[in-house]
Amino acid sequence: MKLALIGDPVAHSRSPALHRAMLQEAGIEGSYTAIRVPRGNGIDVVRRMRLDGFTGCNVTHPLKEEVLRACDVLTDEARRARAVNTIFFSRAIVGTTTDGIGARIALETLADEPIALHRIGVLGTGATARAILVELHDNDAYAFVWGRDLEKVAALCTEFEAQPWPVHEPPEMVISTLPPEVSLPRDLIESLQHVDLVMDANYGERSTLRRVLHREVVDGTLMLEAQARASFDFWLARLEGVGGGEEQAG
């Protein structure tokens, strides 16, 4: 298997180490490299990777929306999230997203129970946030959305049957998809002090939300590991010719 990660930045990413370990664990000969691809170059790079014999690739910021147009086929999750973080190369370029699955598994691991019927807040309105909202909706969680652009928040609430950020009673759990070193309004910081569990989708040195909130924050390591496993399983299933029924043309 010839695999890669594309995005910008990628030097910090733990994905290569995770996927190389998965290859070794599965007894599969292969490689996984991190390739820096600036915004605006994603479509050309994805199409070239197919010609260069890649089996699949992961996609990170800022390309998750851009590479949609390079995909011939989208899974239901990618179509609804309007974002791709995992691509499989065959006769068609198939795109999916495992960000939502990764977030759900991480939250369920930390809470030690399913997310169904829990009140879960999502900070942000971008590609990762939408993938998480798809998963929350499909697993019967009560979702709440915070973002600076109120029109985007309202649109996501309608699309995913979520609610705007509550003024009084905060969610039980919150996952932030915001960038590192983000500046947050004082009322949101105050609200987040009363949340049982806060998780930052960023990990390692890029997980700075703890400093912003001055409280315990779980970084995105668990989410990364879970979404990486889901991506790897997606590639294996495709190689074995399994699970094609959920796709729609992109």
HSE toward the beta carbon, residue 235, CA cutoff 13 A: 26
Supply the DSSP string of 72-107, one letter for each residue: SEE-HHHHHHT--SEEEESSSEEEE--HHHHHHHHH
What the chain holds in terms of domains, given with CATH numbers, is 2-98+224-249 (3.40.50.10860), 100-218 (3.40.50.720)
Q: Which of 64, 79, 104, 119 is catalytic?
A: 64
Closest residue by Cα to residue 12 from 216, 242, 208, 229: 208
Q: Is 2 a residue of the active site?
A: no
Give the three-class secondary structure for 133. Answer: helix
Q: Are 63 and 43 in contact (CB under 8 A)?
A: no
- pTM greater than the 0.85 cutoff: yes
The one-digit pLDDT tens for each residue of the chain (250 residues) are 999 999 999 999 999 999 999 999 999 999 999 999 999 999 999 999 999 999 999 999 999 999 999 999 999 999 999 999 999 999 999 999 999 999 999 999 999 999 999 999 999 999 999 999 999 999 999 999 999 999 999 999 999 999 999 988 999 999 999 999 999 999 999 999 999 999 999 999 999 999 999 999 999 999 999 999 999 999 999 999 844 444 444 4
Closest residue by Cα to residue 128 from 224, 192, 64: 64
Task: Give the DSSP H/E element, type plus range, for residue 226.
Answer: helix 221-239
